Amino acid sequence: MELGNQIKKMRNELSLSQDELAEKIFVSRQSISNWENDKTYPDIKSLILLSEVFSVSLDTLVKGDIPEMKKKIDEQEFVEFQRDSKIYTALFIAVLLLPLPLARLLDWWAFAVYLPLLGAAMYYAFRLEKYKKKYDIQTYKEIVAFTEGKNLNELEKAMEKGKRPYQKVMLAILSALLAIIVSSIMAWIIKWLS
């Protein structure tokens, strides 16, 4: 990472101590130390003040760190995607399996439990769709590669884009079949319990 080195180098060029620099940009000496040792990054306000103190552009100040910052952000989003995927999977299974037991146990009060559960599942489904749009991942192979932290090469990406229309049709058919199967099982269980 370059930002810490840049701050330290420019501070030394101006013969400023960490305390003096901290005073000029309204932060603690510890913040300056953390930045110089790449433990934390300055916020945007501090970056602007640093660029003014050092008389350089923001671009010059953070040059070389932008790819590193983007990588850290992508890694954080990858972890969030995995967490959201696990939560969504658990909620999806609950939404499929709980309607009958809840209705049997709670009668009409089951709606009070089921609807928030369904709402939470929809919330996480929308979050996952946001990640899929942002990283342009839609096919099974693209999703698997993303969850493993890998990228497809250009040829593989082009091949996957060609599969998307067919996979959407297959997904619609499979979703309809799943709905029919679940509905049939629920109807059979209701009939059996009656």
What length does the chain have? 194
User: Closest by alpha carbon to 128, among 80, 176, 61?
Assistant: 80
> Residue 75 pLDDT more than 80?
no
Residue 134 has pLDDT above 70, yes or no: yes
Residue among 160, 158, 137 at smallest CA distance from 148: 137
Residue with more model confidence, 68 or 137: 137
Query: What does each C-alpha distance from 70 to 38, 65, 154 come to in angstroms?
Result: 15, 8, 21
Question: Do 21 and 53 meet the contact criterion of CB atoms below 8 Å apart?
Answer: yes
Residue scoring higher pLDDT (191 or 36):
36
Residue 95 is encoded by which pair of tokens?
A: 């939404």
pLDDT of residue 117: 92
Q: So what's the pLDDT on residue 71?
A: 65
* CA-closest candidate to residue 116, choices 130, 102, 127: 102
pLDDT mean over 10-14: 91
> Residue 11 is which amino acid?
R
What's the fold here for domain 3-64?
434 Repressor (Amino-terminal Domain) (1.10.260)
More confident residue, 148 or 120: 120
Which sequence spans correspond to the domains of the chain? 3-64, 70-193
Task: Please tell me the distance from the alpha carbon of residue 156 to that of residue 162, in angstroms, as a whole number.
Answer: 10
Alpha-carbon dihedral 3, 6, 8, 14, rounded to 10 degrees: -140
How far apart are the C-alpha atoms of 96 and 88, rounded to whole Å? Answer: 12
Between CA 167 and CA 153 the distance in angstroms is 20
In three-state secondary structure terms, 36 is helix
